[in-house]
Amino acid sequence: MAPDSGKVNRGELKATGSRPAAGSHSRAVLRPSDFRSERIQVDDLWIHAAVEGPEHGPLIVLLHGFPEFWYSWRYQIKALAAAGCRTVAVDQRGYNLTDKRCPYDEFTLAGDVVGLIRTLGHERAVVIGHDWGGVVAWVLGARHPDIVERLIVLNAPHPSVRLTALRSMYLPQVLKSWYVLAFQVPIVPELLMSANDFEVFARILKHQTKGAVGEEEIGYFKQAWAQPGALSAGVEWYRASLRTWMRGRLKDLSVRTPSLLIWGDRDAYLTTRTAECTRRYVADLEIAYIRGASHWVQQDSPEIVNRYTLNFLQSG
């Protein structure tokens, strides 16, 4: 693959996010219809995905976070496909057009990706994850190193870091994570988040990205959130994770796979300290900070994310 600039340097990197001003949209809108859609059966689960790039190119699997779907990778899918990669951006279990089926614990979700890679006829793949997709990526690197060639994670610390921060009552992170406990309440979170045509989610995406996610794109997200059972499934990920944590299953998750952590430093939900502490659990880690970028870094600073991603892949 030919990146668009020089190689990523080892260690800590910083860049300034390139985002449009509030209320503007300087990029052409990519629509779901601009991508090829596939349904892929993995064991007893039907997974929906956007698939681009040469059929025999190296495989890259993109894992979205909450409350997103495959479309949050719209700027990365085209760039990676143009670089010669077979790029598969999935709706993860329970989201959008993928089957809604329990369980939703991290190990089941990681198993879905393992099954997907094998179903697609590959022995190994690069896995890129954001938010919850990043958590799944870290678990893959720890539990399935044989199938993960490289990891790229966006604004998601290693799961042990966040748990340690909560156990130790590290106040800045505890305050940012209040919603995790709120999501444990049955039914109420789903009712509040779906009220007024998903106004809470729409406002978050528009305001935190300073207009990088526009009204038309919000409409596509609303269609995904409105899929029967999708919102409840997304919240169930949080409930399943808490149960997994309480059972002590998130231990011994050290990662040796070469990894890149891309971090928007204006994250409203995660402290930069959690990014730095990820080094304790990932032996071969580079961190690239993007100044001024939000938690939704691949949507508000896609050019920088794409450059770091392609450089990292080329450097190996």
To the question of pTM greater than 0.85 for the whole model, the response is: yes
Mark out the alpha helices in the chain (DSSP H runs). 74-82, 106-119, 132-143, 159-167, 171-176, 178-182, 188-208, 215-225, 230-246, 272-277, 297-300, 302-315
Q: Let me know if 56 is a catalytic residue.
A: no
pLDDT on residue 165 = 67
Query: Can you list the domains of the chain with their CATH numbers?
Result: 12-315 (3.40.50.1820)
d(CA 268, CA 281): 23
Q: Let me know if 238 is a catalytic residue.
A: yes
Q: Let me know if 131 is a catalytic residue.
A: yes
Give the active site residue among 48, 64, 158, 295: 295
Give the active site residue among 238, 281, 289, 308: 238
Give the active site residue among 131, 170, 281, 289: 131
Phi and psi for 230 in degrees, rounded to 5? -70, -45
74-118, pLDDT tens digit by residue?
A: 999 999 999 999 999 999 999 999 999 999 999 999 999 999 999
pLDDT on residue 93 = 98
pLDDT on residue 176 = 80
d(CA 256, CA 149): 11
d(CA 72, CA 131): 11
